[in-house]
Amino acid sequence: MSRFAYYTVCMLGMLGVVWKLVDSPLAQTWILAGLGLAYMVMLVAGSLFPQLGFYLLALNRGPANQSNVALTFDDGPAAGITPRLLDLLKREGVPATFFCVGEAAQNHPTLVKRAAAEGHLIANHSHGHRYYWAFLSLPRLIGEFRQANQVLTEILQRTPRFVRFPFGASRPGLARILHVLNLVNVAWDVRGLEGIYQDPMTIARRIARQARNGSIILLHEAYYPNRTFDPDTVLETVRLTIAWVRERGFTFVRLDHLLEQPGYAEIQPC
């Protein structure tokens, strides 16, 4: 049973108890309103913070017994950024994981092929990355991630294994997508928050400070479909992040290699 189902059952049970034990209609109203507000806050928090595992489990980090971390990028590929980013990663000898948007990959298949050829891992980040994606019906949601899988499979001649949901949001029914498409849900435990902290030094310092053994680091090469990221800012952020995380003694490994280290039990598809 998911935490969503468990807490929903608990909340319904509490409502039944209140209704039976509290005689005053006014008291009933206030108590029920308070429980309803608490439930709504819980639902929103569960949607916005995948690390809570409220609706379904997500991989947030790798094993804590080794000083390895994984660098991941969302929302690409982007023609003005990705080639230069790949050049930087090659110079630094850092393997990364790219959670690609299907539409962007369809428009730039050579960038996806290049990233894979240079040793980076390609993963599913939905086909359209719509802002309203979490409100789609379950059949349409499955189609959204299946279409991205098909695009990436056609480009790479192999099927992605990992998925990250747009904005990291969660909702009931997503476990069905993992089951149907045989995908593993990946979140993060350290993120750049580039939409808030736009200075490369601030972002990199924040990431380096929060990194720990097994961290999965989330950065963006672009915000899809809003291509407002400045390539120079992206590259400087990544360069500083790599340098300062390494200064703390961590080694960058690819996401799948991080999760396959001895002594760590990977979450399997639901």
Q: Tell me, yes or no, if 125 is annotated catalytic.
A: no
Q: Which residues pair with 70 in a beta bridge?
A: 216
Residues in the chain: 270
Q: Rounded to an integer, what distance in angstroms lies between the CA atom of residue 115 and that of residue 30?
A: 56
Q: Rounded to an integer, what distance in angstroms lies between the CA atom of residue 161 and that of residue 249?
A: 29
Q: Residue 135 is which amino acid?
A: F
CA distances (Å), 211 to each of 30, 67, 207, 244, 247, in order?
A: 43, 10, 6, 10, 11
Q: Which of 23, 74, 127, 189 is labelled catalytic?
A: 74
CA distances (Å), 106 to each of 75, 124, 134, 214, 239, in order?
A: 13, 13, 22, 32, 28
For residue 134, the 8-state DSSP code is G
DSSP secondary structure, 71-90, as one string:
EEEEEE--TTTHHHHHHHHH
Q: Is the dihedral of CA 27, 30, 36, 38 positive or negative?
A: negative
Q: Tell me, yes or no, if 74 is annotated catalytic.
A: yes
Q: Which of 108, 120, 125, 220 is labelled catalytic?
A: 220
Q: Which residues contact 243 (CB under 8 A, 6 or more apart)?
A: 204
Q: Rounded to an integer, what distance in angstroms lies between the CA atom of residue 34 and that of residue 38?
A: 6
The stretches of 49-119 forming alpha helices (DSSP H) are 82-92, 102-107, 109-117
Provide the 3-class DSSP secondary structure of residue 156: helix
Positions marked active-site: 74, 220
